[in-house]
Amino acid sequence: MEQRATVSKANGRLSDIRKVLESSNVINDMLLFSKKENDEIGEMKREDEEKFFLKETITNENGQDTLYLK
């Protein structure tokens, strides 16, 4: 539950989310954020993380928020 609270407090650019999660040892630099569109999951380039916000990458299905990492 603590990890979930960390992410929800850091509702900002993916690059900022990465910094928070890396400092908490939740993710490492091997993982990439991914986005689900039309039932396909695509990777987001690390250098593009500054352009996207967390809320743009989270998928909500049946009231369940999902953040994809690859």
Q: Look up the pTM and report it.
A: 0.73
pLDDT in the model for residue 55: 87
63: its two tokens: 């009231």
pLDDT in the model for residue 48: 95
CB atoms within 10 A of CB 18: 20
pLDDT above 60 (res 10)? no
In degrees and rounded to multiples of 5, residue 5 shows phi and psi of -65, -40
Segment 19-68, tens digit of pLDDT? 888 888 888 888 999 999 888 999 999 999 999 998 888 888 899 988 89
Give the separation between CA 40 and CA 12, rounded to whole angstroms.
24
In which region does residue 39 sit, left (phi positive, over 0), alpha (psi from -120 to 50) or beta (all else)? left
**Treating both helix axes as pointing N-terminal to C-terminal, what angle do 2-9 and 14-23 enclose, rounded to 10 degrees?**
150
Each domain of the chain, given as residue ranges in start order, spans 2-69
pLDDT in the model for residue 24: 85
